[in-house]
Structure 1
């Protein structure tokens, strides 16, 4: 059950957070999507995502602190007025608690469900939605069928994203974010991994192989999003499936295209990734590169598709 704080105090905290975030971020509009870059952010590992802040997303800064909520006595009518004046479409920031990365989701609105927000984060944060747990201020886990308005989410507010810890998923995601192959090798991404969890003891051989394949895919998805070439190469060599899909139907190539990870895109293509794979919204990796104006990546995909057509000559080096 979702836990709610004291009405007046929680309302003032949310109003204060909205006022603090109202002028903090300006983002460019992306045609055909709701994902935007965080212009103030840098990147943990991999190549930097561009200084202008319009073309690349999501940004991944090193966050060392938490935004503090303010609490004081005040007029509840003023709080209600602040919420009433909130824009119909606004920006939300999402903090991945396990890593300190901050992501930006735009085109949010009061009637947006938590499920819909997770669907966006599947792409912009590179975390499959079935592993996401979201919280806001002093509330408990946000239920999928509730709306942002139900939780009094204000424009510019920060939602906390946690990775599901059961079965070691949080540790796996963290290792993939870091691109640490030594950690990944010990976390059940290959058949010979010594890693064991409580649930693994109840699985038959066929189910165990499926369990390993799922973990390898998630690690590949996250590492591709962050642009960790060594980790992507390692996971592909261990049998990770670059044609696997997240719950939103997205492949590692989708998320590599979002963050403009050209080297990872080339590596995934060499291992059979499809530039025409459609996600649940009908969007392909090639579409993403085009919409975000990642011309180098779009050209790379196009040339690769031409060179690998039946009857075409071998890849040029």
Structure 2
């Protein structure tokens, strides 16, 4: 196994670390740091990130090949320092997982990951088309998770078109982005973001990819995700400003058209002015007013018609303005959040090192105070920067050893 594929598990239990071995489907062997009071279910959650194999298809065995019970601890199962736990998968997954670890793309495509390639098993024979398609996509997603962990770009290129939903997750709520971040695979993080995976997706423990990069001690991946989040925010600012300009122009056009069309004249000539109508009605010798009031004067009748028309125009205008008002309300809510950022020159992309980025954050903090905003968020980022810088000098990046 290459050095770059070594799993990162050190920071899961730092209190009383104990080294044990994990043999993955008989092909890879890792040494990981755990504590003997760790429950089996916790170990399985950790190994989802450390191996790329989803939690729900794992089977952990020790010594006599009996499956370890989730609620038991490693000590309950007599696991000793240096002991070897076998990570197996359920029989329906074993061949697929094995081929995915080995990167055998041609064989993988014939194992029920593609609807266009015939595949039959005792399970699929009883499935309808909809259920079978969901089952096939689930298998493709498992291969993708393993491919991301192995940093096998060629395998990911072949599997990604088969995983149409970029929000597909493991039972623990994790996306391939979480797996890549936990193992410090920055190139794979960029690859996944370019392919449309969500940067801010959270797992069931409410952790984003950047949180896992920090938890496992990968400052480079953490900084890359942090900068990607800022770039995404900057794009959001540009989109917000365009929406706001569109909303303003729409409201301006509606106001102008409303003023012009508040009076629509007679039925024969919609553009006719009230004065002209009064003159015409006054010159008619047979004019006897409205049916309800034969003595009604032309001026009064025209005034009523004008008022009625303007009310209809106002009602229509209010209905048409609902969408514009909702759009502007949404823009304003976003605008309040990003106002301090908009007033600082866009130097996010030009920050090449931690010192220049610190200067940018300090400038941003000053702008926040000028606009009356609390700078707690900026303080958090500065603290994050200090932690990253500290870890880059003092944290040992070696998480586990390959002893296979």
What TM-score range do you get, normalising by the shorter chain? 0.5 to 0.7
User: Which residue of the partner structure matches residue 364 of structure 2?
Assistant: none
* Cα distance change, pair 113–293 in 1 and its aligned pair in 2 (3 A): closer
User: Which residue of the partner structure matches residue 91 of structure 2?
Assistant: 165
* Cα distance change, pair 211–222 in 1 and its aligned pair in 2 (3 A): same
Q: Deviations over 1:93-138 (max 9, x none)?
A: 2111332x1233323223x322222111111122112111111112
Select 1:231's aligned residue among 146, 152, 155.
155
Q: Deviations over 1:40-61 (max 9, x none)?
A: xx42xxxx429xx8xx6269xx
User: Which residue of the partner structure matches residue 103 of structure 1?
Assistant: 30
Q: How many angstroms apart in 1 are the aligned matches of 2:151 and 2:165? A: 17
Q: How many angstroms apart in 1 are the aligned matches of 2:154 and 2:226? A: 24
User: What is the CA-CA distance between 1:306 and the residue it aligns to?
Assistant: 3.2
Q: Deviations over 1:166-190 (max 9, x none)?
A: 2xx1111122212222122111112
Superposed counterparts of 1:51-66, under 5 Å: 57=8
Structure with the greater alpha carbon radius of gyration: 2
Q: How many angstroms apart in 2 are the aligned matches of 1:193 and 1:124? A: 31
- Give the paired residue count: 234
> What TM-score, normalized to structure 2?
0.53
Q: Secondary structure at the match of 1:269?
A: helix
User: What is the CA-CA distance between 1:307 and the residue it aligns to?
Assistant: 3.2
Q: Secondary structure at the match of 1:307?
A: helix
User: Which residue of the partner structure matches residue 69 of structure 2?
Assistant: 143
Select 1:183's aligned residue among 107, 110, 123.
107
Q: How many angstroms apart in 1 are the aligned matches of 2:90 and 2:170? A: 15
CA RMSD of aligned residues (A): 2.6
Q: How many angstroms apart in 1 are the aligned matches of 2:230 and 2:203? A: 22
Q: Greater helix share, 1 or 2?
A: 2
Superposed counterparts of 1:298-309, under 5 Å: 298-308=222-232, 309=235
> What TM-score, normalized to structure 1?
0.66
Q: Secondary structure at the match of 2:236?
A: coil
Q: Deviations over 1:137-192 (max 9, x none)?
A: 124122223322222111221111112112xx111112221222212211111221
Structure 1 runs not aligned, ≥5 long: 1-41, 60-86
Structure 2 runs not aligned, ≥5 long: 240-348, 350-404
Q: Deviations over 1:260-305 (max 9, x none)?
A: 2223211210122123222222221111223344333233323333
User: What is the CA-CA distance between 1:311 and the residue it aligns to?
Assistant: 4.5
Q: Is the 8 A contact 2:183 2:216 kept in 1?
A: no
Q: Is the 8 A contact 1:58 1:103 kept in 2?
A: no
